[in-house]
Amino acid sequence: MQTLQKQVSPLRVASKGTGSAKVGKTSFLVFNTNKYFIVPTENIAFFNVKYDSSILVSFDRQEYFVNYSLEQIQHLLSEKQFFRLNRQYLINFHAVKEVEYYFARKLLVNLTVPASEKLLVPKEKASRFLNWLENR
């Protein structure tokens, strides 16, 4: 038994050192028009907060309320796939169309699915956001 543990412990150390990102939640159960739907995370363009509720917006522009705060959603999802832009938005990498420089070293993010307001990345997060886009 001890020899097996000696063989397994280097594997555990090696797997910790790989820095593999968490996989994250693969789908969300949403309710709309008296029906429940499963929305896979790859179909989600972004999450945003509207009227103190979290909204899931899919690539086909459908909106659904979800029973999680934006902070809870952020911890449920893969950091490689989703980025928290600001207090109101959590976006999918595949939804990013282009990024522009904005006033005072902020970034303006344009998505493939239009958002109801300008998506601004604060200057404190701008370099981390650009790094996320480059190195995922």
| CATH number for the domain that contains residue 122 | 2.40.50.40
- Return the pLDDT at 22: 64
| Geometric angle at alpha carbon 57, from 90 and 20, rounded to 5° | 45
Is residue 39 scored above 50 in pLDDT? yes
Is 80 within a domain? yes
Does residue 53 lie in a domain region? yes
Q: What is the mean pLDDT of the chain?
A: 86
- Residue 10 resides in a domain: no
* Residue 136: pLDDT band with limits 50, 70, 90: confident
Q: How many domains does the chain have?
A: 1
Residue 13 lies in a domain: no
* Entry pTM: 0.80
In a domain, 52, yes or no: yes
In a domain, 9, yes or no: no
Q: Which amino acid is at 61?
A: R
Answer whether residue 71 is part of any domain.
yes
What order do you get walking across the sheet with 53-58 strand by strand? Answer: 63-66, 53-58, 44-50, 89-92, 82-84
Does the residue 117 lie in any domain? yes
Structural domain including 93 reads 24-134
